[in-house]
Amino acid sequence: MGGIALLARALGHRVSGSDANVYPPMSTQLEQAGIKLMEGFEPEHLQPAPDVVVVGNAMSRGNPAVEYMLDQGLAYTSGPQWLAEHVLQDRWVLAVAGTHGKTSTASLLAWILQEAGLEPGFLIGGVPENFGVSARLGKAPFFVVEADEYDTAFFDKRSKFVHYRSRTLVLNNLEFDHADIFDDLAMIQRQFHHLVRTVPGQGLIICPNHDPALAEVLDMGVWTPIERFDPTDEADWHGANATADGQAFDVVCDGKPQGRVEWDLLGRHNLANALAAIAAARHAGVPPSVSIPALSSFRSVKRRMELRGEVAGIRVYDDFAHHPTAIETTLDGLRKRVGDARIIALLEPRSNTMKQNIHTRRLSGSLDAADRILLFAPDDLQWDAASVMAPLGDRAEVFETTQGMVDRVKAMAEPGDHVLVMSNGGFEAIHQRLLDALQ
C-alpha cells in the first residue's frame, strides 16, 4: 500500500493515508514523497471526502474508517485494482509470484532491466538498495511487480496477483502459507491456477524444475510457453560450478554457457532467484550477456541479510525470513559464508501462520545451522515455544520480552560472532537496540 501511494503521488495525485505503527523504511519513503501519514483509522481522516479511497487488505468490517466510508457512500477500490487501472494498463507486466523470494527476484529483474537502459517501473514489497525506493512509475513499456497471493480486500477475496495481467510470469515456488485466509495448500493452488489463466499465449511462464505444488498447478491447465530453471540440475536455465556460498556460479541456458555471475548475495535460493530473473529479462529482450554483468552491481534488498552494523567484531544482520523454508535457506547461506564462526539466531514468529500451530514440526530443524537460538514468544502465540524448541537442546532459549533477548546477546556475544535477527515486522527495533547494547 505504501508503494501504491508512492505511484499515485508520482502520477500527480494528492495522497494521504491512515495506518498503524508504520516503521522504516516505508515511513521514511512516504515522508520524503510528501505523503501525509495519519496514525490510526479515524473517520475524520476521510474528511473532506477524497475522490477515491484505496483500501488495503488489512482493513476489515468493523474498522471505524471502513464503516464511515461505506455509510457515506464514498468511492473506493482496492490497491491491486487501482494499480491495474491507473498504472499497468498498456504496460508489459513482469510479475514474480511464489511463497519465497518474490522481493529479491523482482528486485533483481528490475535492476537488470535498469542496467539494460530500459528504466522499468516497479512495485516491490521491499526496498532494493540500488533504487532506494519500493516503487516508481518508470518508463513504458516494462513494469515489474511483486505478485502476492494474499487476498485483495475485504470486498474482493481473490488473490492480489490476478489483477496484474502479467505477460512474463515467474513462479518461484509454492508452499502452504497465509493460514489466516487459506485453509490448505489446495486453496492457494487454485488461486495460482487463476493467475496462470491470465497469462497470454504469447507470454512466458518461468518456473522451477522440481516443485510438486507448482507442477500440480500447471497440470490444471496452461496456455503459455514454459521455461524451467534449477540451481544445479539440468533445466532450460541452470547453474554450474557454483561456490559453496553461491557467490559465484556459471549460468547455462539450453546447454550453453552464458557467463559467470560474481556477486555479494548468498545461498542456493538466491542462485535460483538470479536464474529466474535472467530468464524473465531475456523474454523482455535483454540477453544474458547484459543480465549477468548487471548482477555484479546488485546491492540486495533492505532486510534481506542486511548488515545493520558491527560492534567490537560482532556483526548484526536483519532478515525478513519468517517461514521454516526461508529460515533454513537464510541460515544455510550465512553458514557457508562464515564457516565455523558462531551464529546467534533471533526469531520472532510474527506472521499469522507462524503464530498458529502450522509450521511447528519444521521450525526447530530449520534453525539447526545456528549455534545459539533465541526465540521470542509473544502472548498470542498458539503453541508451546519451549516444547517446540526442545529438539535443539540447550542451544535454544525462549524469551517473553525483547529486552531479555537484548540482555542475553549482550552477555554471550563475542568478537567474531554473527547475530542474525529474523522477523517480518519491526521486532520492537531490536536490531538497533542490540547494536547500542553491544557498544
SS3 call for 314: strand
pLDDT at 370: 95
**Alpha carbons 345 and 371: distance in angstroms, whole number:** 8
Domain extents for the chain?
2-74, 81-295, 306-438
DSSP state of 284: T
Q: What residue has cell string 559467470?
A: 260
Tell me the β-bridge partners of 251. Answer: 239, 259
pLDDT at 302: 66
Residues 366, 337: contact at Cβ < 8 Å? no
pLDDT at 430: 93
CB atoms within 10 A of CB 183: 9
**Alpha carbons 3 and 124: distance in angstroms, whole number:** 7
Q: What residue has cell string 496484474?
A: 164
| From the candidate CATH numbers 3.40.50.720, 3.40.50.1970, 3.40.50.2000, 3.40.50.1370, the one assigned to the domain spanning 2-74 | 3.40.50.720
Residues 143, 91: contact at Cβ < 8 Å? yes
Peptide bond into 25 cis (omega under 30): yes
pLDDT at 118: 97
* Packed helices 102-115 and 268-283: angle between N→C axes, nearest 10 degrees: 50
**Alpha carbons 60 and 67: distance in angstroms, whole number:** 9
Query: Residues 6 or more apart from 295 whose CB is under 8 A from it?
Result: 108, 111, 112, 261, 263, 274, 278
**Alpha carbons 368 and 231: distance in angstroms, whole number:** 23
CB atoms within 10 A of CB 42: 13
Residues 329, 268: contact at Cβ < 8 Å? yes
pLDDT at 209: 93
CB atoms within 10 A of CB 210: 11
Please identify every stretch of the chain with a pLDDT value under 70, giving residue numbers as ranges: 179, 301-302
* Packed helices 102-115 and 288-295: angle between N→C axes, nearest 10 degrees: 120
Q: How far is CA 2 from CA 56, 363, 376, in A?
A: 10, 31, 28
**Alpha helices, DSSP H only, in 84-208?**
102-115, 185-197
Residues 206, 169: contact at Cβ < 8 Å? yes
**Alpha carbons 153 and 248: distance in angstroms, whole number:** 42
pLDDT at 425: 80
Residues 77, 117: contact at Cβ < 8 Å? no
pTM, two decimal places: 0.79
**Alpha carbons 117 and 136: distance in angstroms, whole number:** 15
CB atoms within 10 A of CB 336: 17
Of 366, 371, 370, 368, give the one whose Cα is nearest residue 354: 366
CATH tag, 81-295:
3.40.1190.10
Sign for the CA dihedral angle at 245, 247, 252, 257 comes to negative
Fold of 306-438: Protein-Tyrosine Phosphatase; Chain A (3.90.190)
**Alpha carbons 51 and 232: distance in angstroms, whole number:** 52
Distance, C-alpha 222 to centroid of its chain: 26
pLDDT at 416: 95
